[in-house]
Amino acid sequence: MFRPIPYSSNSLNVPKGFAVLLEKLATEVLRNQPLDIVSFSAKYFVQLLENRNETSEDITLCDKEFEHRTFNDGHFGTNQALERNSKNEERSVIKIQSVYRGHMSRKQTERLKRKQNVAAQTIQNRYRSHKQNQQSKEKTQTTERKTETAAIKIQANFRGYAVRKKAVQKKKEMSATKIQATYRGHIIRQSLRKQDDAALKIEKSAIKIQSTYRGYKVRKGLKEGKASTEVQ
């Protein structure tokens, strides 16, 4: 922790105008609340130098109020004046220290917040990763279930198709067998009819031959009997 640095009128010996610069710097620091006091102070003094070079105006010589407080009160050069300057400078240092402590406190708070944010972000990232993994796993399982269901459905459809195809094939075979049997029956009947017709023709021919032969025999017998009678 910071604590005010005590100054003694016997040991502090600073150039004229330093207290003015220190007090004005402390005022600017309190007004702007910079995060980096060292860089801010450097830029502030550079700006003062540039302003002095451009305008030839020195703020350490223009601060009449500060001059009145320090040099025109009848105590300039005395131990009382030196003590007063030391107190003014000490107050300026205390202001800067207070601002710096506030800056460090804010910086520490910001670091803590950053750590908390990082921790929270890490937790969120891990949770999101876990959730994504879980969702991916569930999606994969759902896809696998759908694939399995589709495969079962395809298999069932294929089995049904195979059964129907087999039934159709069997029906075709039965129809072909029936057609073949019918055709064979027709051929057999047709062959039998032809055989019957041929037998009938043969029978008729035989009867006709027999009849012709018998007639011939009769006519021959009659002819022979007539001839024998005539001879007698």
Residue 24's contacts (CB-CB under 8 Å, 6 or more residues apart) are 59, 63
CA–CA separation, 207 vs 215, rounded Å?
A: 12
Give mean pLDDT, residues 25-44. 80
> Do 93 and 52 form a contact (C-beta atoms < 8 A)?
no
Q: What is the pLDDT of residue 159?
A: 93
The number of CA neighbours under 13 Å toward the Cβ of 83 is 4
Q: Where are the alpha helices (DSSP H) in the chain?
A: 18-32, 37-55, 59-62, 64-70, 79-231
Give mean pLDDT, residues 105-110. 84
- Among residues 62, 59, 64, the alpha carbon closest in space to that of 44 is found at 59
Domain coordinates in residue numbering, the chain:
1-174
Q: Does the pLDDT value for residue 62 go beyond 60?
A: no
Give mean pLDDT, residues 141-160. 92
| Per-residue pLDDT band at 2 (split at 50, 70, 90) | very low
Q: Does the pLDDT value for residue 64 go beyond 60?
A: no
CA–CA separation, 48 vs 57, rounded Å?
A: 9
Q: pLDDT tens across 83-106, in order?
A: 555 666 677 667 777 777 877 788
Q: What is the pLDDT of residue 164?
A: 93
Calculate the average pLDDT of the chain: 77
Q: pLDDT tens across 114-133, in order?
A: 888 888 888 999 998 888 88
Please give the biggest Cα pair distance in the chain: 225
CA–CA separation, 76 vs 105, rounded Å?
A: 39
